[in-house]
Structure 1
Amino acid sequence: MPGTSSHKAVSKGAVFADVDHDPVTTILPQGDVPYTDHAMDADERVIVALGYKQEFKREFSLWTTFCVSFSVLGLLPSFASTIYYGMGYAGTAGMVWGWIIAMIFIQCVAMSMAELCSAMPTSGGLYYAAAVLAPPKYGPFAAWITGWSNWIGQITAAPSVDYALSAMILAAASIQNPDYVPTNWQVYLLTVLVLIIHTAISSMPTIWVARVNSWGSTFNIIALVITLIAIPAGTTNEPKFSSSKDVWGTITNLTDFPDGVAVLMTFVGVIWTMSGYDSPFHLSEECSNANVASPRAIVMTSGAGGLMGWFLQLVVAYTVTDIDGVINSDLGQPWASYLLQVVPRKTALAILALTIISGFSMGQGCMVAASRVTYAYARDDCFPLSKYWKLVNTRTQTPVNAVILNGVLGILMCLLVLAGDVAIGALFSIGGIAQFVAFAIPIAIRVFFVGHRFRKGPWHLGPFGPWIGGMGVAFVLLMVPVLCLPSVTGSDLTPGLMNWTCLVWGAPMLGVTIWWVVDAHKWFTGPKVNVEHAIHAADAAVIDGVGADEDVVQDDASSKASASRPQTPHTVL
């Protein structure tokens, strides 16, 4: 397994983190305990027991962590960005039934992830869990695949959100001035500007980032509630609402596939919208009481997001009158087209303004979460030039270099805007499929392969954990091929209508797999321990952070014995 033990003489005053007393599943070799030269609080004992130094200030609380992840969900701007997939594949019945069905299984994935987070609250998150839980000798490869898929999903999130945000801003300008028609270059340049602003904000000290995201998430919730009230109250339709029979019972299949497959295809919008609840996992090293607060934030995000998102689906499904008019409007933004269809122009602009501000907050949350993932993987030398991306700025105590890297990559990816709607649309599909594959790998390992090597944290699912995890994994296995389906088949399928997700996500994943086989397996060993640690000796008084009373010096025999032990995860049941 990853890492090489650095057993050293332990001087008087060393403070140990006794992994037997901290509920963690760790990468440290069996029998080793980490130590520092200062007293540790509960949070630092947990992260040190996992093999990492405490490098961030823990200035996120349960609420502010939830705020970041809820901002990343960004229900209102997410729905506005993906309305094409839900409504455009299976109509209103696909929207309302699709959301319910998908959310049941997404909750299973979220709860299983929360259980892993409680046992391993690190920025590396899913990647760390895959490495620790995988069968012997397969840990580094499991971490490699999980990490790269998760990272690809993370770094595409902010660019796709900021692209949709820019399109909405320019659509609002078109509503104000019907003679104005935005060009792809204008959309791209505005997207670049927003990405630069988000990069700057994400480089600020942790407490400032937490405050910005707290304000943004609060606004997101308020804007969503206002929208849920304003659309039914302000609709100009006659009658105001469609019948329940039409909404729930009529599938408007706009694909070449059977109705059931068309409904499954609507899940891409749900999956993309709900792919941000892993953010508390990646922020856990900046959160106080992380092994309880972070998993709670994951479950709160998925639960609140699922319920409020469904309410929004219902409002739109009961009020939309012309699905084709929404999907194929000259405005180029289905959400703006829908609003103009059902409410007066001023009301439409007001709701669009709320969506734009919420979208800005969402993009900011995505940038913060992605930067922490980049930092965590660079800390373990996953990337070329990792020594630069893993640096923590001494002034802000945030991974500024990782933030800048993600910003530059986002600007480059958004060049797809210039290739047309189909090309840039691939970013949305990538975000969903890449994230959920990364979610499923460590959960699948925990369910099917882990055996006794998983030690539950303080937040867990009890005996239902494997069953809930198994349902989530089955859902992901079903959805991976569905997310790659185009809406048309046969002679109707052209390059412009092709679903390029399989290529845009599959090609990088194939590339990193080949890289592993050819070279990376020689040097990549998974999570790297960066704290001093020593063999668990009987003469070391180490319980719950109490320092050793005497000098503890390992003899050569102990060091050799430790070095010869297999590097297996340390767990105590």
Structure 2
Amino acid sequence: MEVKTTDSGTSKSSKSHIYGDSHAPVTSILRDGDVPYTDHEMDADERVIMALGYKQEFKREFSLWTTFCVSFAVLGLLPSFASTLYYGMGYAGTAGMVWGWIIAMIPIQCIAMAMAELCSAMPTSGGLYYAAAVLAPPGYGPLAAWLTGWSNWIGQITGAPSVDYALSAMILAAVSITNPSYVPTNWQIFLLTTLIIIIHSVISSLPTKRVAQFNSYGSTFNIIALVATLIVIPAATTNKPKFNPSHEVWNTITNQTDYPNGIAVLMTFVGVIWTMSGYDSPFHLSEECSNASVASPRAIVMTSGVGGVMGWFLQLVVAYTVTDISAVIDSDLGQPWASYLLQVLSQKAALGILGLTIICGFSMGQGCMVAASRVTYAYARDDCFPYSRIWKKVNKTTSTPVNAVILNGVLGVFMCLLILAGTTAIGALFSIGAIAQFVAFAIPIAIRVFFVGDRFRRGPWHLGALSPWIGGVGVLFVLLMVPILCLPSVTKGDLTPDLMNWTCLVWGGPMLAVTIWWIVDARKWFTGPVVNVMHAIHAVPVDGIEPEEHRDTEQETVSSKATDV
């Protein structure tokens, strides 16, 4: 087969954009001088993905808007806030809510921008895992990819189950409001959650175009419902006076933990971090996005920016209208958002807002399932899992990773068995999602900032000279929050198994297990992302001349590994 050396993506000029001329390449799995083979003309997106070592397997039917829609649906501000209201309001009251969100959003936005820069340089569904592999110092790429991939995957697969559990609780809370004699049981919540997971799995297995349309509609509804909520609650509140005094909202920390006020405010960040952990979705959808090197990073920053501003407005609305925090947290409804709505609105208005939240939560859960399935596919493509040959298959009819969707759905159902152990056990899913995702975010960013430096080959979207400063702030924030997210709300004699924060065990346990697996066995065979394009070594013409020794004598295929990046 003839090696293309013109506009197919292997010319010297286009190659220098990807690999760089003066420094060793740190954004591609193909070694400097490798040339992908192709028997057809490639567009810009396919040239980039081929240079990163992968065949174009998905249809690029996501645009900037539809990619943003999936990401914003995964973010799900309204249902996310409703699901985590216990942490923001319950740990530090109204002052903790409004100040906590502002403080946390600054470093979170730094992480989003640093991630967007990586996405522009390496727009592949492997995302953070791929970036960690190719940016790490020689010899450490596989380990960096292994830890990043597993932490990210744990966070991803807990996303849909945690959202669907909260959604089920809201649905049954709505039933309890209309029928006060009805008290939901854990079995009923589990069965409803399982049904929703199955529905989300079916939708996520549809062709890419249909999935994009569904998420576009869902995200649009999310935005409309959020705006409606921000308007309706202040306008229709039954409080007299309507709003709490500003000095109480901003200055009163209702500390319901055993820690100092500063620590209590930091503990409220779990709600912010869990809410804002979905903006990496465009990274994982980049192989299905048109103009991915620009559109995907823009979608990441848009999601984090829009989500941060609108989320803070929602915090303000609730902080200025809530009248009894203890009643909201300890309500028999078992769902603080529903309790809050009944406290400040008429029953009819409360059910209306709760209904909007439920619809948004359904859309959010589906977005989480889509994003998680693409991550599972990407990791299975590189043989990270047992039986990866099954999970990495792309369905020929839908051109989507149906087997990966099924795997995530089954695992989600098993995780939701924690519902039967009580609210504290199932609540660990929220903390796991927060800590697992942000640790995965921080690893490749830290490598890029502290080890790669100016050898980083930037994509068309980048941060310029501010890149190391912005990335450094994000990494330091994660280092601070990892122990904070593992703290229980009470200490000493008040600490019982029911009040224990099990995040350190439920996230730390699997991570310890995969680390041991690496030391004992995986380091012998796992070498990072796997190239699945046919390519040649040093087949690029030099000064217009293609020496005989530069002609390909060895065609490497799908087994090529990232052992020397």
TM-score tier by shorter-chain length is over 0.9
Query: Among 384, 390, 393, which residue is 2:395 paired with?
Result: 393
| CA shift in 2, pair 1:559/1:63, >3 Å | closer
Deviations 1:328-359 (A, max 9, x none): 00000000000000010000000000000000
What amino acid sits opposite 2:197 in the alignment? Answer: L
The residue correspondences of 1:148-297 to structure 2 (distance < 5 A) are: 148-297=150-299
TM-score between both structures, scaled by the size of structure 2: 0.95
Further displaced range: 402-411 or 20-29: 20-29
The residue correspondences of 1:309-458 to structure 2 (distance < 5 A) are: 309-458=311-460
Q: Measure, in 2, the Cα distance between the counterparts of 1:26 and 1:566.
A: 9
| CA shift in 2, pair 1:30/1:267, >3 Å | same
Q: Is the 8 A contact 1:72 1:362 kept in 2?
A: yes
- Asked if 1:20 is matched to 2:21, the reply is no
What amino acid sits opposite 2:134 in the alignment? Answer: V
Q: Measure, in 1, the Cα distance between the counterparts of 2:178 and 2:364.
A: 25
SS of alignment partner, residue 108 of structure 1:
helix
Q: Is the 8 A contact 2:18 2:457 kept in 1?
A: yes
| CA shift in 2, pair 1:564/1:366, >3 Å | closer
Q: Measure, in 2, the Cα distance between the counterparts of 1:93 and 1:13.
A: 61
Deviations 1:73-92 (A, max 9, x none): 00000000000000000000
| CA shift in 2, pair 1:169/1:551, >3 Å | farther
What amino acid sits opposite 2:551 in the alignment? Answer: Q
Q: Measure, in 1, the Cα distance between the counterparts of 2:173 and 2:561.
A: 63
Aligned to 2:97: 95
Q: Is the 8 A contact 2:132 2:144 kept in 1?
A: yes
The runs of 5 or more residues in structure 2 that have no matched partner are 20-26
| CA shift in 2, pair 1:566/1:116, >3 Å | closer
Aligned to 2:551: 554
Deviations 1:170-223 (A, max 9, x none): 000000000000000000000000000000000000000000000000000000
Aligned to 1:568: 564
- Please give the root-mean-square deviation of Cα atoms over the aligned residues, in Å: 2.2
Query: Among 43, 56, 59, which residue is 2:58 paired with?
Result: 56
Q: Measure, in 1, the Cα distance between the counterparts of 2:5 and 2:462.
A: 35
Q: Is the 8 A contact 1:10 1:551 kept in 2?
A: no
Q: Is the 8 A contact 1:166 1:187 kept in 2?
A: yes
Q: Is the 8 A contact 1:22 1:46 kept in 2?
A: no
Q: Measure, in 1, the Cα distance between the counterparts of 2:31 and 2:546.
A: 24
Aligned to 2:305: 303
The Cα shift of 1:13 comes to: 9.3
| CA shift in 2, pair 1:357/1:12, >3 Å | closer
The Cα shift of 1:533 comes to: 1.0
Aligned to 1:487: 489
Q: Is the 8 A contact 1:539 1:552 kept in 2?
A: no
SS of alignment partner, residue 449 of structure 1:
helix
The Cα shift of 1:536 comes to: 2.7
TM-score between both structures, scaled by the size of structure 1: 0.93
Q: Is the 8 A contact 1:158 1:366 kept in 2?
A: yes
What amino acid sits opposite 1:568 in the alignment? Answer: D
Q: Is the 8 A contact 2:238 2:346 kept in 1?
A: yes
Q: Measure, in 2, the Cα distance between the counterparts of 1:205 and 1:333.
A: 35
Aligned to 2:42: 40
Deviations 1:75-132 (A, max 9, x none): 0000000000000000000000000000001000000000000000000000000000
Q: Is the 8 A contact 2:174 2:351 kept in 1?
A: yes
The Cα shift of 1:567 comes to: 4.9
| CA shift in 2, pair 1:140/1:100, >3 Å | same
Aligned to 1:6: none
| CA shift in 2, pair 1:335/1:113, >3 Å | same
Aligned to 2:520: 518
Aligned to 2:24: none
The Cα shift of 1:535 comes to: 1.9
Q: Is the 8 A contact 1:287 1:294 kept in 2?
A: yes
Q: Measure, in 1, the Cα distance between the counterparts of 2:483 and 2:127.
A: 25
Q: Measure, in 2, the Cα distance between the counterparts of 1:215 and 1:566.
A: 40
| CA shift in 2, pair 1:227/1:307, >3 Å | same
In the comparison of the two structures, how many residue pairs are matched?
553
Q: Measure, in 2, the Cα distance between the counterparts of 1:12 and 1:461.
A: 33
Aligned to 2:23: none
What amino acid sits opposite 2:296 in the alignment? Answer: S
The runs of 5 or more residues in structure 1 that have no matched partner are 1-8, 543-547
Q: Measure, in 1, the Cα distance between the counterparts of 2:327 and 2:190.
A: 25
Q: Is the 8 A contact 1:131 1:140 kept in 2?
A: yes
SS of alignment partner, residue 277 of structure 2:
coil
| CA shift in 2, pair 1:104/1:39, >3 Å | same
Q: Is the 8 A contact 1:90 1:251 kept in 2?
A: yes
| CA shift in 2, pair 1:404/1:41, >3 Å | same
What amino acid sits opposite 1:325 in the alignment? Answer: A
Q: Measure, in 1, the Cα distance between the counterparts of 2:467 and 2:154.
A: 28
The Cα shift of 1:28 comes to: 0.8
SS of alignment partner, residue 278 of structure 2:
coil
The Cα shift of 1:23 comes to: 3.7
The Cα shift of 1:549 comes to: 11
| CA shift in 2, pair 1:325/1:75, >3 Å | same
| CA shift in 2, pair 1:32/1:329, >3 Å | same
Q: Measure, in 1, the Cα distance between the counterparts of 2:543 and 2:364.
A: 48
Q: Measure, in 2, the Cα distance between the counterparts of 1:51 and 1:380.
A: 12
Q: Measure, in 1, the Cα distance between the counterparts of 2:251 and 2:403.
A: 52
Q: Is the 8 A contact 1:17 1:46 kept in 2?
A: no
Q: Measure, in 2, the Cα distance between the counterparts of 1:302 and 1:555.
A: 45
Q: Measure, in 2, the Cα distance between the counterparts of 1:516 and 1:568.
A: 19
Aligned to 2:506: 504
Greater relative CO, 1 or 2 (CA 8 Å, sep 6+)? 1
| CA shift in 2, pair 1:552/1:169, >3 Å | farther
Deviations 1:518-561 (A, max 9, x none): 0000110100010011123354899xxxxx999998365x889x
Aligned to 1:3: none
Q: Measure, in 1, the Cα distance between the counterparts of 2:31 and 2:278.
A: 32
What amino acid sits opposite 2:247 in the alignment? Answer: K
| CA shift in 2, pair 1:555/1:299, >3 Å | closer
SS of alignment partner, residue 450 of structure 1:
helix
Q: Is the 8 A contact 1:29 1:567 kept in 2?
A: no
Aligned to 2:22: none
The Cα shift of 1:42 comes to: 0.4
Q: Is the 8 A contact 1:12 1:552 kept in 2?
A: no
Q: Measure, in 2, the Cα distance between the counterparts of 1:23 and 1:308.
A: 37
Q: Is the 8 A contact 1:140 1:525 kept in 2?
A: yes
Q: Is the 8 A contact 2:529 2:561 kept in 1?
A: no
Q: Is the 8 A contact 1:12 1:549 kept in 2?
A: no
What amino acid sits opposite 1:17 in the alignment? Answer: T
SS of alignment partner, residue 460 of structure 1:
coil
Further displaced range: 308-317 or 442-451: 442-451
